[in-house]
């Protein structure tokens, strides 16, 4: 027999409370490491377990590549800059990007929609229009979902795709000597968001990059077919995401700043915002570019083909080196070196409308 205990929400006495370093992304990554023992590693029925862009599940006769990313009001979009239609599109696109980073082929999605009381039915329809448009664009089925009342709009979309488990490209697998290939440009989404929030005039390509990102499925498949050793999509920022690759592959990574594909509007945006452009380029996040470790002889040609397949910039932007113990990601620029993982950390703020970096 138990009555109401009078107990309230569990106390935030432990790391993760507001203002606590654990609420920062480094803390968040630490938290994810603390959670890892509860999650399933690779196994016979789980060819790719916890800790990659997507999991791969053996269903007996075929495998499903599956990922879930949630889009949250005030973190991944603001109503000042995005319509409900944009939000629906983005919920699909960010997940398409995760499957692209495995070399998978998106097939179907289900969505859990947390709907605040003041989001009217027409807005919900518009949000579904955006999801349906993205689903049509990438040739996948929107197969259903759940609607529940919440205080804040949350769109948690799960995407399934087809994959040959033996050919899934992972975060691990990068080899010393590999070249780093980047397909898609960097800094545009963060520049669009920051200019828009600050009320500056915002070039349409930057705003579009924030509002309606692309997921580079065709490039991902081209990179996988070319025998890419490791791959990730850039959601948290180049520094943080290459940190995952360095950690998973047990390597160091050099990035050549002058080679990174950065639209000219991003430099102008950094000027207008009075901020270090490299924080937009390397730590802004939500670029949904793909970065891949490719054997050195093939890299330039592989980059060219993958970029051409999507009509986006692509380049060889660095190289993989032997590990020196701790994972290291270094930006080389004008003869100087900067720690790219730290750049990501420095510019991550708790009020920043971005993800906290949960790997699937």
**Residue ranges in 3-62 that form contacts with its own copies under rule CB under 8 A:** 3-18, 22-23, 27-28, 31-32, 34-35, 38-40, 43, 45-46, 49-52, 55, 57, 59-62
171 is in an annotated binding site: yes
Q: How far is CA 145 from CA 83, 130, 142, 350, in A?
A: 21, 15, 9, 30
- Site membership for its own copies, residue 207 (CB under 8 A): yes
User: What is the contact mask toward its own copies in residues 63 to 102, using x (rule: CB under 8 A)?
Assistant: xx-xxxxx-xx-xx--xxx-xx------------------
- Site membership for its own copies, residue 166 (CB under 8 A): no
Smallest gap, in angstroms, from Cβ of residue 122 to its own copies? 4
Q: State which of positions 172-201 bind its own copies (CB under 8 A).
A: 196-201
**Is the separation of the CB atoms in 180 and 113 below 8 Å?**
no
Dist. CA 88–CA 90, nearest whole Å: 5
Based on the number of CB atoms within 10 Å of its own CB, is 132 exposed (0-12), middle (13-18) or buried (19 or more)?
middle
Which of 119, 269, 294, 314 is in the footprint of its own copies by CB under 8 A? 119
Smallest gap, in angstroms, from Cβ of residue 100 to its own copies? 16
244 is in an annotated binding site: no
Count residues contacting its own copies (CB under 8 A)? 115
150 is in an annotated binding site: no
E strand map for 101-196: 105-115, 141-149, 154-162, 179-183
146 is in an annotated binding site: yes
Nearest Cα neighbor of 265 from 189, 353, 181, 174 is 189
Q: State which of positions 306-335 bind its own copies (CB under 8 A).
A: none
Dist. CA 16–CA 105, nearest whole Å: 36
Nearest CB to its own copies, comparing residues 139 and 177: 139
Looking at residue 22, the DSSP 8-state letter turns out to be: G
345 is in an annotated binding site: yes
236 is in an annotated binding site: yes
204 is in an annotated binding site: no
Q: Strand order in 154-162's β-sheet?
A: 55-58, 63-72, 154-162, 105-115, 141-149
Dist. CA 19–CA 322, nearest whole Å: 36
Dist. CA 252–CA 240, nearest whole Å: 13
Nearest CB to its own copies, comparing residues 260 and 266: 266
User: Residues at the annotated binding site for Mg(2+)?
Assistant: 53, 67, 69, 98, 146, 233, 236
User: Residues at the annotated binding site for substrate?
Assistant: 76, 286, 345
């Amino acid at each position: 027999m138990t009555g109401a205990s009078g107990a309230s929400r569990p106390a935030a006495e432990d790391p993760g409370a507001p203002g606590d370093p654990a609420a920062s992304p480094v803390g968040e990554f630490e938290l994810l490491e603390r959670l890892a023992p509860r999650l399933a590693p690779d196994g016979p029925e789980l060819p790719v377990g916890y800790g990659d862009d997507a999991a791969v599940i053996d269903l007996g006769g075929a495998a499903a590549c599956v990922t879930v990313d949630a889009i949250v009001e005030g973190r991944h979009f603001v109503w000042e800059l995005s319509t409900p239609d944009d939000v629906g599109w983005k919920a699909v696109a960010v997940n398409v990007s995760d499957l692209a980073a495995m070399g998978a082929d998106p097939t179907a999605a289900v969505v859990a929609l947390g709907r605040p009381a003041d989001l009217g039915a027409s807005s919900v329809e518009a949000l579904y229009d955006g999801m349906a448009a993205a689903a049509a664009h990438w040739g996948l089925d929107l197969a259903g979902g759940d609607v529940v009342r919440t205080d804040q709009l949350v769109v948690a979309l799960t995407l399934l795709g087809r994959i040959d488990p033996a050919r899934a490209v992972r975060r691990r697998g990068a080899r010393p000597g590999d070249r780093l290939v980047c397909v898609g440009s960097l800094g545009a989404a963060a520049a669009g968001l920051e200019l828009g929030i600050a009320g500056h005039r915002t070039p349409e390509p930057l705003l579009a990059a924030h509002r309606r990102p692309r997921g580079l499925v065709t490039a991902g498949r081209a990179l996988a077919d070319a025998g890419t050793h490791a791959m990730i999509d850039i959601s948290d920022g180049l520094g943080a995401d290459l940190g995952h690759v360095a950690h998973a592959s047990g390597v160091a990574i050099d990035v050549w700043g002058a080679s990174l594909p950065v639209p000219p509007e991003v430099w102008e945006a950094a000027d207008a915002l009075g901020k270090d452009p490299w924080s937009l380029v390397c730590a802004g996040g939500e670029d949904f570019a793909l970065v891949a470790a490719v054997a050195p002889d093939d890299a330039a040609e592989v980059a060219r083909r993958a970029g051409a397949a999507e009509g986006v910039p692509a380049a060889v932007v660095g190289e993989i080196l032997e590990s020196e113990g701790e994972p290291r990601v270094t930006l080389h620029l004008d003869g100087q070196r900067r720690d790219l993982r730290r750049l990501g950390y420095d510019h991550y703020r708790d009020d920043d409308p971005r993800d906290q970096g949960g790997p699937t």
